[in-house]
Amino acid sequence: MEDYLSALIGGTLLGGAALFLRLALGYPLGISGFLSKAVSFRLALADWRWSFLAGMLAAAIALVWIYPQSISEPLGVELWLVAVAALLVGGGARIAGGCTSGHSLCGMGNLDVDSVVATVIFILSGVLTVFLMEGGLQ
Amino acid sequence: MKRNLYAFLAGATFAFGLAVSGMSRPSKVRGFLDFFGDWDITLLFVLGPAVGIYLLGTRLAARLYPKRFARQSDPEPLNARFFVGCLLFGVGWGMVGLCPGPAMVILGQGSVPVFLFFGFLLLGIFLADRALERFSGGR
């Protein structure tokens, strides 16, 4: 029960933050897009996006004290798998033009067909990956 | 300056939202993706209000102030590149249970795997960005 309540509160914060950014700055919220502008030396394009990322980092540091349980879980797979997964997530998001925030939240919230398609593929390929890693049909 | 303050606040709120919702716990995300095992549907209760608030809020703003908040859409072309990108993302997401936002939020954990994930995440974005620039003019 508590899990569902946290989910609803968390989802409200996520939707609220994305809506606020869209109305206050005029842009949809997309973490991989912001990171892409930050790491690709397009510094002028990054502008306020740096502040957004700084806000996320400030919250990440605050969480160490105010809600450590939410960030303390080990990743649970070997280091080489962590590296491969991260390359796939980063590269895939850039190639797909967005990640879970840009496509699954703002894109679907904007009723963009490409974002609905992206979300379905994200989930289906994630489901298949977990299925295979957990032993598949054995 | 104001824009930077707003962006900072949105970023902090978004990060707290990821932490509270459970998205920053890899086991929770992988549990949601474990359709054929012990499927945990709670993340649907994250997606629901998040998408709903954004949808209703942007629609309401567009109705009240049609000029200022008109709906904008810049969809990706549904081509092979797009499908491959989505597939790669989903596989990586299923492997560890982290996507870009949560990967930033758990940096405070200060562990080697988390730094490694974030470093390779940036590297993946950078490499894909260069490849797209070279082969398809940035798209």
Of B21, B95, B132, the CB nearest to A77: B95
Residue A49 domain flag: yes
pLDDT at residue A46, rounded to an integer? 61
Residue B55 domain flag: no
Read off the pLDDT of residues A77-122 as tens digits, 9 standing for 90 and up. 999 999 999 999 999 999 999 999 999 999 999 999 999 999 999 9
Number of domains in chain A: 1
Our CA angle for B127, B122, B40, nearest 5°, is 115
Of B82, B90, B122, the CB nearest to A129: B90
Mutate to test the interface with A, among B39, B54, B126 (most CBs of A within 10 A): B54
Supply the DSSP symbol for B25: -
Residue A138 domain flag: no
Q: Do A92 and B91 touch (CB under 8 A)?
A: yes
Asked if residues B16 and A16 have their Cβ atoms less than 8 Å apart, the reply is: no
Confidence label for A138 from pLDDT (cuts 50, 70 and 90): low
Number of domains in chain B: 1
Read off the pLDDT of residues A26-46 as tens digits, 9 standing for 90 and up. 999 999 999 998 887 666 666
Which of A52-66, A86-100, B68-82, B93-107 is the least confident region? B68-82
Our CA angle for A31, A37, A39, nearest 5°, is 100
Q: What is the ipTM of this complex?
A: 0.95
Read off the pLDDT of residues B84-132 as tens digits, 9 standing for 90 and up. 999 999 999 999 999 999 999 999 999 999 999 999 999 999 999 999 9
Residue B130 domain flag: yes
Give the separation between CA A25 and CA A19, rounded to whole angstroms.
10
Looking at residue B101, its amino acid is: G
Mutate to test the interface with A, among B2, B39, B99, B118 (most CBs of A within 10 A): B99
Tokens read off for B61:
């703003």
Structural domain of residue A76, as residue ranges? Answer: 2-133
Give the separation between CA B107 and CA A87, rounded to whole angstroms.
17
Residues of A in contact with B22 (CB under 8 A): 3, 6-7, 10, 70
Residue B67 domain flag: no
Structural domain of residue B132, as residue ranges? Answer: 2-39+74-136
